Amino acid sequence: MGGEFSLYGRKKNNEQYIHLQDLGEQYMQVFKHNVVAYALDRKHTDLKSLYLYRGQLRLGKALMKGQYLELTFQSAANSSLWDSAFEQVDDLPWLFRNFNHSFKPVQTDFSYMRVYRKN
């Protein structure tokens, strides 16, 4: 795998994993930005899912299933980091405001998951 924290994706057409970028200390903020852009069809439109890795350990997975964005984290602590992270913008305008207008949280019984439904 890439650097300490890395962003990966899985292609829609052939299931191939691809390395997208290495992430620094603000890894969750950058992951959040990429997931929001992916959910809003602004970025990564050729991917079926995004992954956050630390070395070879998968910390998080984002997957659109129809009208639902499902985030599955390695632990409840990582899902809490997602909740408190502010989106860090790299090359697209700040998108989280649009995400909050387009998606609503869905209750889940699992502390390591976050689910959002598209309006």
- Indicate the domain borders of the chain: 5-118
Spell 40-54 as b/e; 16+ CB within 10 A means b: beebbeebebbbbbb
Which tokens in the block code for residue 107? 């209750």
Say what the pLDDT of residue 2 is. Answer: 47
Helix axes 27-39, 76-84, angle to 10 degrees: 80
Blockwise average pLDDT, block size 10, the chain, 119 residues: 82 95 92 91 94 96 96 97 78 63 91 94
